[in-house]
Structure 1
Amino acid sequence: MTLGKLTLAAGNHTLVTTFILLGFSDHPDIQELLFGIFLFIYILTLVGNLGMISLIFTDSRLHSPMYFFLSILSFLDICYSSVVTPKLLVNFLASDKSISFKGCVAQLTFFVVHVTAESFLLASMAYDRFVAICRPLHYSSTMTKRVCLQLVAACYAFGGANSAIQTGNVFALPFCGPNQVMHYFCDIPPLLRLACTNTATAEMVLYMFSALVTLLPAIVILISYSFVLVAIGKMRSAAGRKKAFSTCASHFLAIAIFYGTVVFTYVQPHGSTDDSNSQVVSVFYTIIIPMLNPFIYSLRNKEVKAALQRKLQVSIFPC
């Protein structure tokens, strides 16, 4: 295993130009098995999310705000999974597990952009359900195409702002060795441990902005679903209650998994968990959740299943 590269800097210090992503290297006997498992998961992620996007855009019955947001969710899942997983797969088979300093910056930048955008997108989806169930008569005039596009743009704006702050916060610090990252991608907590200076301020910035981009959407989600649950309880039709609850239940399950793992990773005291636990939790929100989301939404959604059946029937019996 290469030890990476260090470049001479002012004084007797050196600056890191390459990081080593140790990842799951403490399990050398099962690297090929792990490669097969994660490759299979990544293929399912691509197929599931691309299939969901294709189904929504080609079936006119799914041309509604809810499914528009769902297609954006699938796009975000593909993006941030693809930022992490390909490099992980390469490192399972390669002896050189290094990543350049610039490559590390780019990986962290794009990862934070898409994860933050997904956090706010989930809040947008919760607001959409609130309007649909609690204000049905005003739904078409409230959730217009322009409003939906503006909400998606805002999600990416928050993602870009948070990424600029978090990435700048980390890489403004000096890295002068060691350069072995106890993780499978360039994530903030393990990088802060490698900085050769006091990281108290950087950790405070991490916690503040991580809490901000999780708590603000979480508050919107909780308020929206509180009103939604009350509205569902008042519905006279049992079929209507079942349909509304089924749709919201799948959304809430995806939210619980996503926010639970993100909060565990970023909004907790520094060093309160060991690296192995942190990696396992990170696997959930970087690799497992992007694979599960299309299945969570499709298996509990009759309209998606009906659209898929129509698509299969057309493919099998084109005439």
Structure 2
Amino acid sequence: MANRTEVTQFILLGLTNDPELQVPLFIMFLLIYIITLVGNLGMIILILLDSHLHTPMYFFLGNLSLADFCYSSAVTPTVMTGLLRGVKVISYNACAAQMFFFAVFATVEIYLLASMAYDRYAAVCKPLHYTTTMTTVSIFYGTVIFMYLQPSSSHSMDTDKIASVFYTMVIPMLNPVVYSLRNKEVKSAFKKVILEAKLSLEF
């Protein structure tokens, strides 16, 4: 029988080995993650509560928010745990599960963004909505294209790490911000929910 060693865990290289940067990076990623959770869950709840948002476009947007929530949650907690505890290993099973969920939700996001872009392209009477959708699509696809199609001569692990952080943490945080800040219907629905919450608290 040939000698062989089964892989039981992987060593995570992380973003930096500098101990002084571990806590600041943890705080930054924690803030990004909190904004991602609040923004995406807020969008889902808002779309469910307001009947004016029960349209195909907001169906896509609600599912995009759910995908972003799960997509970010598949990776970010592991990164933050490594930064906080200094434990930079992950078991084989945990790594496989993380990669599976990351790939599933990233694929769902790709199809949702493509569907939303087509929907806005078809609705030429609403150019602002099309513009905001294309902004998100461009950021997501642009980062992935930059990551995987850059020339090998200029390829850098540090560049890969920054690009990975961008499309696994920053983009899921930006999606609800892009859609809510430039969308009158979402703003109106948000104000309505806040007003109803205030009135229910007063009584």
Q: TM-score scaled to structure 1, two decimals?
A: 0.60
Which amino acid in the other structure matches residue 311 of structure 1? V
Aligned length: 201
2:17 aligns to what SS in structure 1? coil
Shift of 1:48: 0.4
Change (3 A) 1:12 1:271: farther
Change (3 A) 1:271 1:81: farther
Shift of 1:270: 5.5
1:265 matched to 2:147: yes
For 2:121 and 2:158, how far apart are their aligned partners in 1?
39
Change (3 A) 1:62 1:116: same
2:75 aligns to what SS in structure 1? helix
2:65 aligns to what SS in structure 1? helix
For 1:270 and 1:18, how far apart are their aligned partners in 2?
28
Shift of 1:268: 4.3
Residue ranges of structure 2 left out of the alignment (5+ in a row)? none
Q: Give the counterpart of 2:2 among 11, 17, 20.
A: 11
2:169 corresponds in structure 1 to 287
1:307 corresponds in structure 2 to 189
Which amino acid in the other structure matches residue 90 of structure 1? T
For 1:309 and 1:24, how far apart are their aligned partners in 2?
40
Structure (1/2) with the larger helix percentage: 2
For 2:194 and 2:35, how far apart are their aligned partners in 1?
18
* 2:121/2:130 contact within 8 Å kept: no
5 Å matches for 1:17-32?
17-32=8-23
Residue ranges of structure 1 left out of the alignment (5+ in a row)? 1-9, 134-227, 233-243
The structure, 1 or 2, with the larger RCO (C-alpha pairs under 8 Å, 6+ apart) is 2
1:14 aligns to what SS in structure 2? coil
For 1:32 and 1:71, how far apart are their aligned partners in 2?
33
Segments of 4+ moved more than 4 angstroms? 268-272
1:99 aligns to what SS in structure 2? strand
Q: Cα deviations across residues 21-70 of structure 1 (Å, max 9, x unaligned)?
A: 12123232121111111111101100000000000011000000000100
* 2:120/2:133 contact within 8 Å kept: no
1:275 corresponds in structure 2 to 157
Which amino acid in the other structure matches residue 192 of structure 2? R
